[in-house]
Amino acid sequence: MGNVMIGNLIKYSKQLNNNDVFMNEALQMEKAASVGKRIRLFYPKYHVEECLAQIRECLEIGWTGNGFKTEQFEEVWIKYTGQNNALFLNSCSAALELALDVLKTEYGWDDGDEVITTPNTFVSTNHAILHNGLKPVFADIDDTNCLDPLDVERKMSQKTRAVLFVGIGGNAGRYLDIAKICMENGLKLILDASHMVGTKIRGEVAGREADAVCYSFQSVKNLTTADSGMLCFNKPELGKQARKKAWLGINQGTYERNSENAYRWNYDVEYIGYKYQGNSVMAAMALAQFQFLDQDNAIRDKVASYYDEKLAPYRNLAIPVRIPNDCKSSHHLYQILVDDRDRMIDRMNEAGIECGVHYVSNTRYSMYSYARGTCPRAEYVSDHVISLPIHAALTDSEIQYIINTLIGILKEE
């Protein structure tokens, strides 16, 4: 919708006098158009023709549900990650819930057993613990904005069963130290790799040390579908349990029952499961988008290096540490810490640059307020962190403009 047309609509609606519905529609379109002019914090880069070609196959053979493309994408993912199994789901939130459900069943954890987790994450991470009747115990974050191994050790108790690590923004932080702690103490390790699609640890796709790894392909992630996720277990038999639980506990998939000569209608129900499966339309998009993952992540890497270089001299700003050699980040986020965060966001917004906050410490939310004050650095970061725009569609001139604007504001401080 062009601006001239929107202008005409507004003029026309004013002539109509108090036609509120029409006026609202016109104003909404004007707003949408102006949003288009802003530099977006996230901007999913869809490889449209490739996505459409993959989706077309689903429509032509008449299979959009679970199976078909989901199986193809699972195979691609196994090869890419080096994991020995993969389960395509409707989200990473579902993956996290299932991961804990399966581990709890398999290892006989009791209700109220504890999982050590980070406060600086999207609430899906911690809700998954509560949904499973377990208790999130918050450990603080360190200078990487990820879990601090020292505080994880401090927060361990007789009831600790697992650690849930989030690679915030694609940063692996001190994940390898945490993996070691888990191994030495008989704790399970779950990796929330929502932001880590493309992250490499010592040259390998992140996550091999974990008992379960959960990925997000939600609408702004590095590998964008619209909404979907993946769950990989290091033990294939746990992957099999998860597959049944993701399909209401049913022991055979519909595609599997359908793909022989006859439709086999009989099955058993072994668990109370969920309807968490992913579908073939999302998997079709994932297959198409996957081909460009490395290329798109290379652009993010370039943007991040540019930010790193230009922002390094400014002392009134801190960039979370990435441990050299250990981590090649996917750069899902580019985070900085500044003194006056709210003012910085307002000023950037005025300049047409969207910024985000990832995240408010979950201990600030009513649900998790029992842990308020237990993670001082997480609360500090929660008040000072900003995410700058980073995505594969940023142009060189936009990056330059963001940096110039930011530096201008920093110099005023």
Ligand X SMILES: Cc1ncc(COP(=O)(O)O)c(C=O)c1O
Evaluate whether 230 touches 77 at the Cβ level (below 8 Å): yes
Closest to ligand X by CB, 88 or 122: 122
The window from 32-40, 119-127, 133-141, 395-403 that contacts ligand X (CB under 6 A) reads 119-127
Exactly one of 66, 85, 124, 277 binds ligand X (CB under 6 A); that residue is: 124
- Minimum CB separation of residue 403 from ligand X in Å reads 25
- Minimum CB separation of residue 1 from ligand X in Å reads 29
Query: Quick check: 218 binds ligand X (CB under 6 A)?
Result: yes
Per this entry, what is the length of the chain? 413
Query: Quick check: 222 binds ligand X (CB under 6 A)?
Result: no
Question: Which of 287, 296, 314 has the alpha carbon at shortest distance from 413?
Answer: 314
Give the type of residue at 248.
L
Closest to ligand X by CB, 113 or 192: 192
Closest to ligand X by CB, 166 or 348: 166
Exactly one of 136, 173, 207, 229 binds ligand X (CB under 6 A); that residue is: 229
Closest to ligand X by CB, 13 or 222: 222
Query: Quick check: 97 binds ligand X (CB under 6 A)?
Result: no
- Token pair belonging to 203: 């040259």
Each as own residue / partner, the long-range contacts of residues 101-107 (CB below 8 Å, 24 or more positions apart, any chain) are 101/132, 101/245, 102/212, 102/233, 102/238, 102/241, 102/242, 102/245, 103/161, 103/162, 103/188, 103/190, 103/211, 103/212, 103/238, 104/132, 104/133, 104/134, 104/161, 105/241, 106/238, 106/241, 107/161, 107/188
Q: Can you say how many angstroms the Cα of residue 94 is from the centroid of all Cα atoms in its chain?
A: 12
Query: Quick check: 166 binds ligand X (CB under 6 A)?
Result: yes
**161 forms bridges with which residues in the sheet?**
none
- Minimum CB separation of residue 412 from ligand X in Å reads 32
Distance CA 315, CA 375 (A): 25
Evaluate whether 162 touches 189 at the Cβ level (below 8 Å): yes
Angle between helices 69-81 and 48-61 (to 10 degrees): 130
Closest to ligand X by CB, 86 or 92: 92
Query: Quick check: 117 binds ligand X (CB under 6 A)?
Result: no
Closest to ligand X by CB, 26 or 97: 97
- Minimum CB separation of residue 217 from ligand X in Å reads 7
Closest to ligand X by CB, 39 or 166: 166
**317 forms bridges with which residues in the sheet?**
338
Pairing relationship of beta strands 135-138 and 317-318 according to DSSP bridges: unpaired
Where in 231-260 is the site for ligand X (CB under 6 A)? none
Exactly one of 120, 125, 329, 335 binds ligand X (CB under 6 A); that residue is: 125
- Token pair belonging to 158: 């007789």
# residues contacting ligand X (CB under 6 A): 14
Closest to ligand X by CB, 253 or 278: 278
State the residues that interact with ligand X by CB under 6 A.
91-93, 121-122, 124-125, 166, 192, 194-195, 216, 218, 229
